[in-house]
Amino acid sequence: MGDATAYADRIERLADEATVARATLDPDPPDDERAMALLREGLGPTVALYCEARTGESIARFTTAEFDRLQGAVDDWLAAYAACYGVTVDPDYSVRVAAELLVETHDIRDVAQLLTDVPER
- Report yes or no on 108 lying in a domain: yes
pLDDT tens digits, 6-50: 899 999 999 999 999 999 999 899 999 999 999 999 999 999 999
Please report which confidence band the pLDDT of residue 1 belongs to, taking 50, 70 and 90 as the band edges.
very low
Please report which confidence band the pLDDT of residue 5 belongs to, taking 50, 70 and 90 as the band edges.
low
User: What is the DSSP secondary-structure string of 49-115?
Assistant: HHHHHHSSSS-----HHHHHHHHHHHHHHHHHHHHTTT--------HHHHHHHHHHHS-HHHHHHHH
Q: How many domains does the chain have?
A: 1
- Report yes or no on 47 lying in a domain: yes
Residue 87 clears pLDDT 90, i.e. is over it: yes
- Report yes or no on 121 lying in a domain: no
- Report yes or no on 52 lying in a domain: yes
Average pLDDT over all residues of the chain: 93
Q: What is the pTM of this model?
A: 0.93
